[in-house]
Amino acid sequence: MSWLEVNKILASIIVAVIIVSLISIFGDILINQNMTQKAKNAYLIEIDEEDSGDVAEETQNLEIEEIAVFLSSASSDNGEKLFKKCTACHTYEKDGANKVGPNLWGLINNQKANVEGFAYSQALAETGGKWGYEELNNFLYKPKEYIKGTKMNFSGLKKIEERADLILFLRDQAETLAPLP
Ligand code: HEC
């Protein structure tokens, strides 16, 4: 083998090595670019938090039927019986005492968290608004879901007929009857 031939072989080996490393460098660059592109895409498809909140609220509302229709056929007498589930913590008579929960006289269409001398949870105190029929319907369905952080330890009334009876009974416990919805 002449020196010339040895040189040629060495030269081709060197060229091959250079080509292979160039390919791998370019490959890395390409993959990196792809990744940056993907990262950008991921950033662009950002989820709008407010939207997803609305969806959650809508599904919650869908799940709970409106009470208005049920009130017309509800029974206050049955509501009084159902109130036994509440008596451990609530009174409903005028000037009734606060127990574990606040007195419930004159509740409908009155400001939430408004009973004097009762220490409400921050969650209920900050909710704001009035106890309209639908608010009560939602609250009594699942108190801890409707007002997250409430200290009312009651799992809720699942049957809308029972909630209607109870709400109609609570409506009677007031100086003047709130108009039906
Ligand atoms: C284990 C005790 C307990 C039971 C049982 C219970 N509650 Fe309550 N309730 C509470 C407490 C405590 C609060 C105050 C919640 C807060 O501050 O977060 C409350 C608050 C309320 C409020 C809001 C009053 C306001 O002034 O804003 C209503 C309405 C209510 N309860 C209705 C009922 C009804 C109706 C029942 C029966 C189906 C019931 N509760 C059963 C403890 C109870």
Domain count for the chain, please give it: 2
**Whose Cα sits closest to atom 37 in ligand 1?**
86
What pLDDT, in 10s, does the model give residues 85-111? 999 999 999 999 999 999 999 999 999
Question: Which pLDDT belongs to residue 74?
Answer: 98
| Rounded average pLDDT over 151-177 | 97
Question: Which pLDDT belongs to residue 107?
Answer: 98
Report the C-alpha gap between 24 and 30 in whole angstroms.
10
Is 17's pLDDT higher than 90?
no
57 and 13 co-located in one domain: no
138 and 69 co-located in one domain: yes
101 and 165 co-located in one domain: yes
Question: In angstroms, what is the span from residue 50 Cα to ligand 1's centroid?
Answer: 30
Backbone dihedral region for residue 152 (phi beyond 0: left; psi -120 to 50: alpha; all else: beta): beta
Local confidence band at 14 (pLDDT 50, 70, 90 cut-offs): confident
- Report the CATH number at residue 117: 1.10.760.10
Report the C-alpha gap between 87 and 33 in whole angstroms.
67
Report the C-alpha gap between 181 and 175 in whole angstroms.
18
Question: Which pLDDT belongs to residue 180?
Answer: 95
Question: Which pLDDT belongs to residue 36?
Answer: 55
> Is 18 within a domain?
yes
9 and 59 co-located in one domain: no
What pLDDT, in 10s, does the model give residues 34-85? 655 555 555 554 545 555 445 444 444 457 899 999 999 999 999 999 999 9
Whole domain around residue 101: which residue ranges? 51-172
- Closest ligand 1 atom to 119 CA: 17
Share of the chain above pLDDT 90, in %: 65
Is 141's pLDDT higher than 60?
yes
1 and 37 co-located in one domain: yes
Question: In angstroms, what is the span from residue 99 Cα to ligand 1's centroid?
Answer: 10
Question: Which pLDDT belongs to residue 4?
Answer: 77
67 and 84 co-located in one domain: yes
CB-ligand 1 contact for 99 (6 Å cutoff): no
- Closest ligand 1 atom to 115 CA: 26
Mean pLDDT of the chain: 85
Question: Which pLDDT belongs to residue 59?
Answer: 46
113 and 138 co-located in one domain: yes
71 and 160 co-located in one domain: yes
Question: In angstroms, what is the span from residue 90 Cα to ligand 1's centroid?
Answer: 7
CB-ligand 1 contact for 20 (6 Å cutoff): no
- Closest ligand 1 atom to 111 CA: 27
Question: Which pLDDT belongs to residue 31?
Answer: 62
Is 8's pLDDT higher than 70?
yes
